[in-house]
Chains A and B, each alone.
Chain A
């Protein structure tokens, strides 16, 4: 079943996440990031940052629930078992750090087909508590069409 083109431009409810030190520690450990600015507040402050930094791709933690929310939209017609992560883009305005309270507003930027594949592009502006954009994220999911 093709994806519903009419949903292009649809915005989904905002998601909020507080950047928790334990979550940053676990993420840095899992990706093998040992630079002290990602592992300790003291090292980050000594390097001129306000707090322990989150590794650049840490914000993926917000995209999992964002994608799940969109995948569950009954109007879209997406079969999540057929979906793979095709592309990921980030633009960082500043590094994310422990204590940031981030809000992401996901929207469907594009839906298009190519052969038996369908592409769903989701963009999110991720803002801090002051309303300033910290990261712009763009996720392209590929859905293998029926029989593909």
Chain B
């Protein structure tokens, strides 16, 4: 498992590269089928509008998967992720650009584990809206 940083090269404050993608309706449909979460909030615009959204919203777990991918892409080892705790703070709408990232907040030399604070955000009406915040991930580094 290569490509990722070595534990000894990482410092508290090291930022992981932000990972961005545009959230498309077809992806949310595919995610509903792939995850088994068929809640109409993610499928049916009329239903989503009836509870106050402009249209269907992305699954929270879709956003978490994107955050997890930002972390494993940085770690360079898909088996490196040992824990993640995510708080969902805002919903994500269709065609928004979802960005995820994080920063190292603690290092444990005994276990060669790094703790990161992680986030996900979109730009909405000129404002940065955090969809995930006060959240953490723990990775084992080489």
Residues of A within 8 A of B (CB): 23, 26-27, 29-33, 35, 37-38, 47-49, 53, 55-57, 60-61, 64-65, 84-92, 94-95, 138
Closest to A85 in B: B60
Contact A26 B64 (CB under 8 A): no
| 15 A-B pairs with C-beta separation under 8 A | A29-B30, A30-B34, A31-B31, A31-B34, A31-B62, A31-B66, A32-B69, A35-B72, A56-B65, A57-B61, A60-B61, A84-B88, A88-B60, A89-B84, A90-B83
Contact A23 B34 (CB under 8 A): yes
Q: Would B81 and A47 count as touching, CB distance under 8 A?
A: no
Question: In angstroms, how far is the closest chain B Cβ from the Cβ of A144?
Answer: 10
8 A Cβ contacts from B25-54 to A: 27, 30-31, 33-37
Residues of chain B whose beta carbon lies under 8 Å from any beta carbon of chain A: 1, 21, 27, 30-31, 33-37, 60-62, 64-66, 68-69, 72-73, 78-79, 81-88
**Chain B's nearest CB lies how many Å from the CB of A35?**
6
Partner of A60, one of B37, B81, B83: B37
| Distance between Cα atoms of A57 and B67 in the complex (Å) | 10
B61 lies within 8 A of A88 (CB): yes
